[in-house]
Structure 1
Amino acid sequence: MKIIFIGVMLLVTGFASNAEDLLTISSKDKGISAFDFEVKEVTRNNNSSILKIVNFQDRSAAASRWMMCAYTEIAQKRGFSFCAALYDDHSGDEVIVVFPSS
């Protein structure tokens, strides 16, 4: 029982310490009034991030282009030069962004 408790505490502590490093980018904060989207990093790994974008599947072409800029900004803030977004018509509000080395 002690081991389970310690494991849970380590996980919670790890998530809490990483939570402050997660990024959020808002179209409104960037001065865009044509649409209102927020790209929120919910999980971070060494070479990828899982993003939550509410109403992602209903985005316009202009919003989609802005989101590509947001992915690039996240890559740069994390120290990467490249990124690729992975999603499909059934991925809902989650987008996986990976950061390849080349």
Structure 2
Amino acid sequence: MKTHLVLAHFWDESILLLIPKKNDKGYLKQPVGGHRNALCKLCEETFFYDVSGFDGHLVVHTGRIFDREKLIETVIKPIASYCGTDFKVVDENIFWSNHPNVS
């Protein structure tokens, strides 16, 4: 299992996720990119949420978040499993301090 975790932060009407690189050194700078990859397909077809990921983090557009535990079970855990790692829900300070595009 990777030592880097998927870092999740609940923000506004979405979940922001930092996706670890496969080589275990930091996080992807563009988790989705300009094309539909397997991670994008997982989110859109399994969870029925739109995603974007050009700015160094994956954004799962959930709408108003009322039940965090349900979203952890249905969205965050499957994404972490897809990445072959575990996850941690973090506050905004930890999230942004680990962000690959923020210095």
- Shorter-normalised TM-score: what interval? 0.3 to 0.5
Task: Please identify the structure whose Cα radius of gyration is greater.
Answer: 1
For normalisation by structure 1, the TM-score amounts to 0.39
For normalisation by structure 2, the TM-score amounts to 0.38
Q: Higher relative CO (CA 8 A, sep ≥ 6), structure 1 or 2?
A: 2
